[in-house]
Amino acid sequence: MNLFGDDGHRDKDKCLGDNYVGPQTKDTQVQLVISLTLGLSALLTFCTLRPRWKSLYAARKRPSDPTFGLPVLPDSFFGWMPALYKITDQQVLASAGLDAYVFLAFFKMSMKLFAVMFFFATVVLEPINRRFVPDSSPDTGSPQSLLFRNYATYRSYEHTRLFGDSEPPEKDPDNSFNRNMGYLWSYLVFTYLFTYLTLHFMDRETRKVLSVRQDYLGTQSTITDRTFRLARIPTELRTEESIKQLVEKLEIGKVESVTLCRNWTELDRLMEQRQTILAKLEEAWSVYLAHRPLVAADEPNGDHGGPDAADEEAGENDRLLRGPRARSGGRSRPQTRFWYGFLRLQSRKTDAIDYYTEKLRQLDEKILAARKKQYEPVDLAFVTMDSVAACQMAIQALIDPHPGRLLTNPAPAPSDIVWKNTYASLLSRRIRSWGVTIFVAVLSIVWLVPVAFLASVLSICTINNVFPSFGSWLKEHEIARALVQTGLPTAVVSLLNLAVPYLYDYLSNHQGMLSQGDVALSNVSKNFFFTFFNIFLIFTVFGAVTSIFDVLRNSLKDTTYIAYTLARKIEELSVFYTNFIMLQGLGLFPFRLLDFGSVALYPINRMGAKTPRDFALLVQPPRFYYGFYLPTALLVFILCLVYSALPNGSLVLALGLAYFSLGYYTHKYQLIYAMDQPQHATGGAWRMICYRIMLGLVVFQLTMSGYLALRKAFTVALLVAPLFVGTVWYGWEFRKRMEPLTRFISLRSIKRSEFEGGEEGEGSGVILDGDEEEDLGRARRELLRRGSTVDEEREKGLRFVNPSLVVPLEQPWIHQDPPPPLVEADVSDGQTTPTSGWRRDGPGPGSQTPQQSQGTSREGSNASSVVSLGDTHIWRE
């Protein structure tokens, strides 16, 4: 009997399923060379460019701001490494915020966990494997492997039993009590030990994260901390006064303000149109000024003087239909074509600057008129209380006896709100949410086809069938074969991990969520589902698209089938996943430190930049999105767990330790010095991390049970079941005890006046450092205030109001310094752009530098730095 049974009918299909990705053990050496070459080249390039490109690699560092106390990294080649290592968790939290602290806490916990597991796997388990376990590496795909022989026998037995071709064979003897197979009990022991260590480290880190989160949020008093979201408001209560009276009758505190969301569709659309016109006007001016002669002609009246002054009295349509402007001072003004008339079938060219200036003036008048209108209220409001305690009591209580009415939830930060979704109906948001969810589920199945196709195309087996001569050449050249069979599959999977998150980020932004923090968490969930389902399951349980239905059908007839299949494929693909972790950690993390994407795109963006606003955006710090980095780290964590107790598990654990060590310091540098975080989820990613760690434990236990059953140690395999029950029970307890503290602030943690003597909202708690409870208590008693947290700095001067109602209208940014925002009098007088904003020799008397404008706007309305720097992501949503 051959590997697949007596008939051997599967030999002709040997390129399907099992042989899609099959690198050999020797290929790991080639992958190591590739990874080290990529990683070291990127690291050396970063060390060379870092002191030269500080606008990119130190974009967040503010040397003049002593609040955060961050060290100035030396400009020496490797001098930045010790300085980065010495930065404490307290400084991370103070400079990057709670979300960054939680993200890095996962990497730090993984480092500690896998260091301990690596010690036990190397000192205890590896000698047992070397002494007792026969060589089971699938180097040639031949039936010499004990694992494959057992599985081939199992498949033959199952075929006859399920399909009735012959009588089922006699029951296999249980090797659990075979003295020659006694080493199998060590796998059971280490399954229990590694499960305990994982839960222990996760539980301890969870308690630390919760303690830090409670102290961090409990000792600050931002407007977000004092505001809750009130949803499902009945029609009779949809006024600010009614909501205020309702909440104050609960006797939990005084209401400072109520923001009742209304249907601002018209206003928001006008603001979006204004941004489009403003960008076109700035581009037209940049084209016009770029062709300025060396010696400008004498123009005493300026570009808007002369005969055109009489046009101020003309109608709006006359201004828009004006013909081309004559040459002025030797410069030809840019032209634009617009369509008008019946069904917009007529068109003509006109002066672009005049046309967009007039369009902008008309929109400004419409916006000012729209801001004075009254809009229909919706069933959502933001209620700001006079204290954090009052707000938390409202959030954690049931307000109304009727189900589904007056629901309270924590409010997102004002700059984090997606305002266009606040006035969308509940039905429309649910339809969008379920639509995106169903689309992602269908898309995950569709992904199986290209992923499996790419994996099959890159396999040696397929190459031999399609290109026999090339396959023969690869067999003769071992290094080239290793590059094709090892480097290309792992590179394809890594590229998918880089590309797919952009699609899921787009879908998450159109799911109807109320805040960017919720969008970020949703993006983490979607991308993890892709990496776990498509990258993990397709290469393990299913193997190929054609075998999915066979696996599902057989698993319904035999519940142990998936465990057998998972265990067999996990060991078969050990080299592939080892190479995948190696490439992700040693090869790609230095490229993330280099920020290769920003470096590669900078010349393109630089060539495409035309206006001063475009150039200002070029020097803004890149954005750090957790949904792009966390899912892959979670997959690597699960892979390290799954392989930890298997043969060669010490190698996987060593690579996992290297992955999380490099990842910790890479992301630490990015979050502190180089990149900004647009979301504010108050550490909500930690509960998602914990649930996915528990999912990894279930997969680990299922794999070990199947691995032991393949060796006919059925009793030992059955004894893994209590671990599964214990993990599920821990998850249930985690949901009841831990998860509420990741969403709310406990009343005992609110210590606003205990640590500060100044005005409310000016100070905040400091970050706790230390691993033990007594260290946390001592740090809490020795709490040292640094003035304010990064969250308080972000929210200073903000209000819960739609920015479209209050944001100052921007003038065109034409020269180096941004102009001041428009005032209502300028628009009403018909002067869309004050003269000072149009001077050629510099800014006008009222203009500001970007730093000055940013500070002014932050102290003012909800615009923050949006007005001066043109970063419209806050209010365009």
Q: How far is CA 339 from CA 364, 371, 568, 847, in A?
A: 22, 29, 67, 36
pLDDT at 286: 87
What 3-state DSSP class applies to 551? helix
Residue 32: predicted pLDDT: 87
Helix (H, G, I), strand (E, B) or coil at 77: coil
For residues 727 and 531, which has the higher predicted lDDT (pLDDT)? Answer: 727
* 215 vs 779, residue with greater confidence: 215
Mean pLDDT of the 540-564 span: 56
Mean pLDDT of 437-452: 78
Mean pLDDT, the chain, rounded, equals 75
Is the pLDDT confidence value at 766 over 50?
no
Reported confidence tier of residue 560, pLDDT bands at 50, 70, 90: low
pLDDT of residue 657: 95
Q: Which amino acid, residue 65? A: D
In this prediction, residue 138 has a pLDDT band, given cuts at 50, 70 and 90, of very low
Q: Report pLDDT for 825.
A: 55
| Number of C-beta neighbours around residue 49 at 10 A | 15
Mean per-residue pLDDT for 121-135?
84
Nearest to 412 by CA among 679, 231, 89, 618: 679
- Of 526, 530, 540, 531, nearest to 702 by C-alpha is 540
Of the two residues 729 and 34, the one the predictor is more confident about is 729
Tokens of 299: 């123009």
Instruction: At 392, list the tokens.
Output: 């938390």
- Give the model's pLDDT for residue 343: 80
Given pLDDT bands bounded at 50, 70 and 90, which one contains residue 64?
A: very low
Helices 649-669 and 626-643: angle between axes, nearest 10 degrees: 160
d(C-alpha 603, C-alpha 117), whole Å: 45
For each of the domains in the chain, give its residue range(s) and CATH number, in order of start.
11-216+427-743 (no CATH), 225-264+375-411 (3.30.70.330), 266-373+797-869 (no CATH)
Q: Give the chain's length.
A: 877
Question: Which candidate, 302, 380, 220, 312, places its Cα nearest to that of 836?
Answer: 302
346, β-bridge pairs: 340
| Residue 491 burial (CB count, 10 A) | 18
Identify the pLDDT of residue 31. 82
Long-range contacts of 615-621 (CB under 8 A, 24+ apart): 616/813, 616/818, 616/850, 616/869, 616/870, 617/869, 617/870, 617/871, 619/55, 619/59, 620/59, 620/676, 620/869, 620/871, 621/59, 621/60, 621/674, 621/675, 621/676
**CB-based contact 716:184 (threshold 8 Å):** yes
Q: Which residues make beta-bridge pairs with 340?
A: 346
More confident site: 619 or 434: 434
Give the Cβ contact number of residue 267 at 10 Å: 20
The predicted model scores a pTM of: 0.79
Q: Percent of the chain beyond pLDDT 70?
A: 70
* Helix-helix angle 773-781:184-218, to 10 degrees: 10
Residue type, 715: T
* Nearest Cα to Cα of residue 28 among 577, 461, 474, 636: 577
- Spatial separation of the C-alpha atoms in residues 88 and 66, rounded to whole Å: 16
- Site of tokens 């066979």: 550
Task: Check whether 672 has a pLDDT greater than 70.
Answer: yes
Q: What secondary structure, in 3-state letters, does 187-209 show?
A: HHHHHHHHHHHHHHHHHHHHHHH
Please identify which residue in the block is written with the tokens 């230390």.
770
Residue 126 has pLDDT above 80, yes or no: yes
> Would you say 783 and 766 are in contact if contact means Cβ atoms under 8 Å apart?
yes
C-alpha dist (Å) from residue 552 to 18, 79, 531, 556, 559: 17, 55, 20, 6, 10
Three-state SS at 538: helix
φ/ψ of residue 164, rounded to 5 = 70, 30
Q: What is the pLDDT of residues 454-492, one digit of tens each?
A: 656 666 666 777 777 777 777 777 777 777 766 677 777
Rounded to an integer, what distance in angstroms lies between the CA atom of residue 132 and that of residue 123? 15
pLDDT level of residue 668 (50, 70, 90 thresholds): very high
d(CA 688, CA 692): 6
CA angle in degrees (0–180, nearest 5) for 584-588-591: 165
* Contact yes or no for 492/458 (Cβ under 8 A): yes
Q: Tell me how far the alpha carbon of residue 736 is from its chain's centroid.
A: 26
Whether the CA torsion 815, 818, 824, 825 is positive or negative: it is negative
pLDDT of residue 690: 95
Cα–Cα distance list, 706 to 183, 505, 710, 711 (Å): 16, 36, 6, 9
Mean pLDDT of 142-149: 37
Least confident of 187-201, 222-236, 565-579: 565-579
